[in-house]
Amino acid sequence: GLGIPAEPLFRSHVPKCAGQSVEAVFLKENGLTWSERHQLLLRVNRDPEKGPPRLAHLTAREYVELGYINKENFSEYFKFGVVRNPYARLVSEYKYRGYFCSFETFVVKKMPKLTNDHNEGRDYKRHITPQVDFFKVDGSLAVDQFVKFEDLASGFSDVSKVLNLEVDILPRVNVSGEGGSGLSQMKEWLTRKLFWPKNDSSYRSFYNDKTKQIVADIYSEDFEVFDYDFE
Mind listing the pLDDT tens digit for each residue in 113-133? 776 554 455 678 888 999 999
Q: Are 70 and 77 in contact (CB under 8 A)?
A: no
Percentage of the chain lying above the pLDDT 90 cut? 29
User: For the chain, what is the mean pLDDT?
Assistant: 81
Model pLDDT, residue 37: 76
Contacts of 118 (CB under 8 A, 6+ apart): 48, 52, 53, 125
Between 190 and 207, the higher pLDDT residue: 207
Spell out the residues 6+ positions from residue 164 whose beta carbon is closer than 8 angstroms to its own: 5, 6
- Residue 202 — very low, low, confident or very high, per pLDDT cuts 50/70/90? very high
Residues β-bridged to residue 148: 83
Q: What is the pLDDT of residues 25-64, one digit of tens each?
A: 777 777 777 777 777 777 888 888 888 888 888 898 988 8
pLDDT at 121: 55
What CA–CA distance (Å, rounded) separates 51 from 57?
9
Q: Angle of helix 86-97 relative to helix 209-218, nearest 10 degrees?
A: 110
- Is residue 170 scored above 70 in pLDDT? no
pLDDT given for residue 110 in this prediction: 92
pLDDT tens column, 134-151: 999 888 998 888 989 898
Q: How far apart are CA 101 and CA 16, in angstroms?
A: 20
Q: Please tell me the predicted confidence (pLDDT) of residue 78.
A: 86
